[in-house]
């Protein structure tokens, strides 16, 4: 998924056929669900994973870009926040209702296969991003390109903490003696907070700027990991989730708005896909690192180390935001010219 996200982004930007790429990607996801519903061996699940990795990133990377292309350009934050909020509604609805309606996971997979084509009618009514006049391409690193590289490093470092918000967080709750009911409540709490805050974070980004939202979001994520490490009673694990609004929802909105503004309309697909790719890489490294740290030093130390990584990402973010602030210089330089050097 780290690599296929970039491929889908480049293909969509080059062809300007975002909707068609989404159609083929969703067909691949349907095939993956079919394989999953029938999987019985390690080889079956491996094949499912490969097909899913090839196709799912088309939806994950291109849908946000297509949404931005069809939103009011004067209020991108409010529009994108509303789009992500509706995605959370769909996620929570499926996670809540499907276990009540269906008895097995394979039945849920068949239901998702039947439901996914319904989205095609809505997607096809949207407009593909239009081409814009490209600026002068500079074949060497530029101030804007260096700023972009620093930002992606910061995004990678903050993404290290993502497994600590869900999988390892829930494992920590169980390790302290928390019940399955408590784990379910904590997981549902993150979805509810995201649902309530995404729209507001988008409007706030329009008012104060995506850069400030990012700074607050990085700081909130670091504090969230540090606070988790100090809790010894599982009944108090809901406290770190109060930072989910800025720590996840704020970063989710601010990150894409900031990067698409930097990269321009002609690279919407690549901007969104780069974020997906870097996030996947950060989550993979973070999960491996967390597992090792838990085995060697325990959960509290692991959360503190991850918190340090996030605050290091905050420092890199601040450097990135201060780098190349001369707008006149950035307007003369196409920051996309250095993308191959970064990716």
Q: Determine the pLDDT at residue 131.
A: 59
Tell me the C-alpha distance between 250 and 77, whole Å.
10
Average pLDDT of the chain? 85
Domains present along the chain, CATH in parentheses: 2-124 (no CATH), 143-342 (1.20.1250.20)
Angle at 115 between CA 119 and CA 40, to 5 degrees: 130
Q: Name the residue with higher pLDDT: 136 or 215.
A: 215
Tens-digit pLDDT profile for residues 224-247: 999 999 998 989 999 999 999 999
Confidence of residue 218 (pLDDT cuts 50, 70, 90): very high
N-terminal to C-terminal alpha carbon distance within the chain:
14
Confidence of residue 36 (pLDDT cuts 50, 70, 90): very high
What is the mean predicted confidence (pLDDT) over 4-14? 89
| Residue 234 contacts residue 178 (beta carbons within 8 Å) | yes
Highest mean pLDDT among 83-97, 152-166, 174-188: 152-166
What is the mean predicted confidence (pLDDT) over 266-281? 85
Q: Which residues of 274-297 are buried (b: 16+ CB within 10 A; e: fewer)?
A: bbbbbbbbbbbbbbebbeebbeee
Tens-digit pLDDT profile for residues 78-118: 888 888 888 888 888 887 788 788 888 888 889 889 889 99
What is the mean predicted confidence (pLDDT) over 70-79? 84
């Amino acid at each position: 998924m780290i690599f296929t996200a970039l491929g889908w982004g480049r293909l969509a930007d080059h062809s300007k056929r975002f909707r068609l790429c989404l159609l083929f990607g969703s067909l691949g996801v349907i095939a993956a669900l079919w394989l999953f519903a029938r999987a019985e061996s390690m080889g079956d699940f491996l094949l499912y994973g490969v097909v899913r990795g090839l196709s799912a990133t088309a939806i994950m990377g291109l849908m946000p870009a297509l949404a931005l292309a069809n939103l009011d350009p004067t209020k991108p934050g409010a529009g994108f926040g509303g789009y992500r909020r509706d995605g959370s509604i769909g996620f929570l609805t499926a996670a809540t209702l499907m276990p009540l309606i269906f008895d097995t996971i394979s039945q849920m997979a068949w239901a998702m296969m039947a439901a996914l084509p319904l989205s095609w009618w809505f997607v096809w009514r949207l407009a593909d991003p239009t081409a814009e006049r490209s600026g002068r391409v500079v074949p060497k690193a530029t101030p804007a390109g260096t700023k972009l590289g620093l930002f992606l490093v910061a995004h990678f470092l903050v993404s290290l903490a993502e497994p600590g918000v869900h999988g390892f967080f829930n494992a920590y709750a169980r390790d302290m003696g928390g019940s399955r009911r408590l784990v379910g409540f904590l997981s549902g709490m993150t979805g509810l907070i995201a649902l309530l805050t995404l729209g507001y974070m988008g409007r706030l980004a329009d008012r104060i700027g995506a850069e400030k939202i990012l700074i607050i979001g990085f700081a909130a994520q670091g504090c969230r990991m540090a606070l988790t490490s100090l809790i010894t009673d599982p009944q108090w694990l809901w406290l770190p989730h109060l930072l989910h609004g800025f720590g996840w929802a704020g970063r989710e909105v601010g990150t894409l708005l900031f990067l698409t503004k930097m990269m321009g309309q002609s690279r919407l697909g690549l901007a969104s896909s780069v974020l997906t790719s870097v996030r996947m890489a950060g989550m993979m490294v973070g999960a491996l690192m967390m597992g090792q740290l838990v085995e060697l030093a325990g959960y509290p130390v692991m959360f503190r180390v991850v918190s340090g990584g996030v605050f290091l990402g905050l420092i890199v973010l601040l450097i990135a935001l201060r780098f190349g602030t001369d707008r006149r210089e950035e307007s003369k330089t196409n920051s996309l010219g250095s993308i191959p050097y970064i990716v």
